[in-house]
A and B are shown apart, each in its own frame.
Chain A
Amino acid sequence: MRKVSGLSRFNIASLTLGLAFLYLPILILVIYSFNASRLVTVWGGWSLRWYHEFFNDRAMIEAAWMSLKVALASATMATLFGTLAAVALSRGERFVGRTLFSGMLYAPLVMPEVITGLSLLLLFVALNAERGFWTVTIAHTTLTMCFVAVVVQSRLGSLDRSLEEAAMDLGCNPVRAFVAVTLPLIAPSIVAGWMLAFTLSLDDLVIASFTTGPGSATLPIRIYSEVRLGVKPEINAICTLVIGLIAVVIVVASLASKLSSEQGESAAPL
């Protein structure tokens, strides 16, 4: 720390406090996941007992698998639709109701999740749809699509329109120009949007609990119902695994976007 010049004591103190506030709880959770004791608050030595317990807990494993499937499917769908919406908003001709469309697209950003969840529940009931994997996936797609659209649209907005014009001038039709020039350049933001959608879906409790059905609980729902009966150290182990997964995904994504900006040569599907 001393080597970093220009940091006053106040800076160091506020930095330490801030980081501690953000990461100490997570660190404690991770450490206690290796606790041998049955009691969450009492340290009983190191052990992998609760991880073992989790991998033998069929209901929990099923919930985790369910969450993963929902997150993968909904993030992929949200990325597809969100990117299309962003392209329509920033590249398409000015169509009637454009402002209304962009307003409606971004509404889920500020809409309380309870309302989104409840309205989707009412819709599924009215349609007499069997609630389960697909209803949660659709609900999560609705929730996360706007985040993808925001991320992709900001990148599209900063992109020079004359790049597409140059591609057309050099013999591409408008679709080809988009695929050959625009898509490689917005790819990092599409990846970032997918990641955002994936993590949002993975940790969503409210909307999932409205739209899921019996026998297809997601991991947050499962954890929440367990915790109501008292916190088991097994929960700590699950949470540690989730944190690990998210950390890996984030590192991979940032490496990928760095790579694509450094040498995105192969990114152009010509």
Chain B
Amino acid sequence: MAEKLLTTDAELGAAGEAAHPAAGQPLLRIEGVAKTFGAFRAVDGVSLDIGAGEFFALLGPSGCGKTTLLRMLAGFEAPDEGRILLGGKDIAQALPHERPINMMFQNYALFPHLSVSDNIAFGLKRAGMARADIARRVAEMVALVNLEGLEKRKPDQLSGGQRQRVALARALARRPQLLLLDEPLAALDKKLRESTQGELMELQRRLGMTFIIVTHDQEEAMTMASRIGVMKAGKLAQVASPRELYEAPRSRWIAEFVGDINLFDGESKLRDGHRLIIGTRDAGSLVVAEPREPVGGGKLSVAIRPEKVKLSRRGPVGEAGRETAINLLDGVIADICYLGGTTTYKVKLDTGGMVQASVANSARLDVDAYSVNQHVVAWFAPDDCVLLTS
């Protein structure tokens, strides 16, 4: 059992590792880059490797420095410290027009006095491409982003989604080694955003280009990126695959930032073979698998995602249930939040704490649903818990 736990954790890590760039030189290497505005350290010693063909997301709350880092890659800000190597060449101090990098701006920054095709052709004309080649490339780009028939329109005659496509086509037209996308979907409504996410991923795969996207939307980052760098206060808090980020967050802050999570502050720690028994104030003793890396001396918390918490009226059911259910918590339903695909129950534990359980609504009729004030047992397996230090 304990053996099994360890391998699961290791597999998780291996999956994250597999998403890393292949051996050899990375396309982009950021080395100890820092940028200070006045007394504010916007980017504070960031080091990161990004391989060719990756779809990388910089994720973080507003003001965490992700946009500043992106602007340093584009050349609009010069780093105060550190190096930015693109294909082995330091470009940290190069001007924007000297870099084989293009950017798609958050507000698209389309030239209002130019038509769609002139916007797309802008960078090609600057590159000194022949007129016939420009026309061919523009037509190719227009087809790529499905804007046929709109070539002669001005940006203010386009819808938000069409403008977004023009901006993308304009940034891709020069075939940059690296495409930077600054909150590219923030201005679109939800449905359009979801379909555009898919199109961006498809496009990135087809062109085999390296994309770096900046976003504050963790779902967007998880959906699109092969690897995510979470930034907090100018530093990279964790760089991992979406799955590793969600299932094995490195700190309490990341666990809370990415998705929903139940956290129980630990007060004592006991070793029991390959497991740890954590005494918590709110949920009594909880059994968790021993983490791969030794736990530091800081304050411990036990974290469990709501969808991994199971509910039943009388405790675990079935063969598997009895085997894995070591953490059993009695309580009453305090709140019910119906979300369509899932329902989130808030359970007030007899020990004083609260636990959220997210249950898939797999049947149309609610014969199995719980009601407020109903007594339930919330339970979860030790290998679904993550031990975090704050």
Binding site for B on A (CB under 8 A): 160, 162-163, 165-174, 176, 180-181, 184-185, 264-265, 267-268, 270
Closest to B176 in A: A169
Q: Which of A171, A265, A267 contacts B123 (CB 8 A)?
A: A171
Q: Which of A165, A171, A264 contacts B126 (CB 8 A)?
A: A171
Q: Which of B102, B113, B115 contacts A267 (CB 8 A)?
A: B113
Which A residues lie within 8 Å of B170 (CB)?
166, 170
Instruction: Classify the secondary structure of A's interface with B.
Output: helix
Q: Which of B105, B114, B118 contacts A165 (CB 8 A)?
A: B105
Which A residues lie within 8 Å of B235 (CB)?
none
Which B residues lie within 8 Å of A169 (CB)?
74-75, 96-97, 101-103, 123, 171
Q: Please tell me if the beta carbons of B113 and A185 are within 8 angstroms of each other in the complex.
A: yes
> Would you call B125 an interface residue if the criterion is a C-beta within 8 Å of the partner chain's C-beta atoms?
yes
Give the distance in Å from the alpha carbon of A169 to the alpha carbon of B103 in the complex.
7
The smallest C-beta distance from B235 to any residue of chain A, in angstroms, reads 26
Q: Please tell me if the beta carbons of A163 and B95 are within 8 angstroms of each other in the complex.
A: no
Excluding A165-B96, A265-B115, 11 further A-B contacts by CB distance (< 8 Å) are A160-B109, A165-B105, A169-B97, A169-B101, A170-B97, A170-B170, A170-B174, A171-B127, A180-B122, A181-B111, A265-B118
Give the distance in Å from the alpha carbon of A176 to the alpha carbon of B96 in the complex.
13
Q: Please tell me if the beta carbons of B125 and A270 are within 8 angstroms of each other in the complex.
A: yes
The smallest C-beta distance from B251 to any residue of chain A, in angstroms, reads 34
Whether A170 contacts B105 in the complex (CB less than 8 A), given A163-B111, A165-B76, comes out as no
List the 8 shortest-distance A-B pairs measured between CB atoms, nearest first.
A170-B123, A171-B126, A166-B109, A162-B109, A264-B113, A168-B96, A171-B97, A184-B113
Which B residues lie within 8 Å of A168 (CB)?
75-76, 95-97
The smallest C-beta distance from A187 to any residue of chain B, in angstroms, reads 9
Which A residues lie within 8 Å of B196 (CB)?
none
Give the distance in Å from the alpha carbon of A170 to the alpha carbon of B174 in the complex.
8
> Would you call B327 an interface residue if the criterion is a C-beta within 8 Å of the partner chain's C-beta atoms?
no
> Would you call B112 an interface residue if the criterion is a C-beta within 8 Å of the partner chain's C-beta atoms?
yes
Q: Please tell me if the beta carbons of B109 and A165 are within 8 angstroms of each other in the complex.
A: yes
A-contact 0/1 string along B118-155, CB 8 Å cutoff: 10001101110000000000000000000000000000
Q: Which of B109, B114, B127 contacts A268 (CB 8 A)?
A: B114
Closest to A260 in B: B113
Closest to B170 in A: A170
Q: Which of B96, B109, B114 contacts A265 (CB 8 A)?
A: B114
Q: Please tell me if the beta carbons of B105 and A166 are within 8 angstroms of each other in the complex.
A: yes
Q: Please tell me if the beta carbons of B126 and A172 are within 8 angstroms of each other in the complex.
A: yes
A-contact 0/1 string along B64-105, CB 8 Å cutoff: 000000000011100000000000000000011100011101
> Would you call B107 an interface residue if the criterion is a C-beta within 8 Å of the partner chain's C-beta atoms?
yes
Which B residues lie within 8 Å of A162 (CB)?
105-107, 109
The smallest C-beta distance from B183 to any residue of chain A, in angstroms, reads 12
Which B residues lie within 8 Å of A160 (CB)?
107, 109
Give the distance in Å from the alpha carbon of A270 to the alpha carbon of B115 in the complex.
14
Q: List 26 A-B contacts (CB under 8 A).
A: A162-B105, A162-B109, A163-B109, A163-B111, A166-B105, A166-B170, A168-B75, A169-B74, A169-B96, A169-B102, A170-B102, A170-B126, A171-B97, A171-B123, A171-B126, A171-B127, A172-B97, A173-B95, A173-B97, A185-B113, A265-B113, A265-B115, A265-B118, A267-B113, A268-B114, A268-B118
Which B residues lie within 8 Å of A268 (CB)?
111, 113-114, 118
Which B residues lie within 8 Å of A185 (CB)?
112-113
Which A residues lie within 8 Å of B118 (CB)?
265, 268
Give the distance in Å from the alpha carbon of A171 to the alpha carbon of B97 in the complex.
4
Q: Please tell me if the beta carbons of B174 and A171 are within 8 angstroms of each other in the complex.
A: yes
Closest to A266 in B: B113
Closest to A171 in B: B126
Q: Please tell me if the beta carbons of A167 and B103 are within 8 angstroms of each other in the complex.
A: no
Q: Which of A170, A174, A184, A264 contacts B122 (CB 8 A)?
A: A170
Which A residues lie within 8 Å of B75 (CB)?
168-169
Which A residues lie within 8 Å of B109 (CB)?
160, 162-163, 165-166
Give the distance in Å from the alpha carbon of A166 to the alpha carbon of B103 in the complex.
8
Give the distance in Å from the alpha carbon of A163 to the alpha carbon of B155 in the complex.
13
The smallest C-beta distance from A35 to any residue of chain B, in angstroms, reads 50
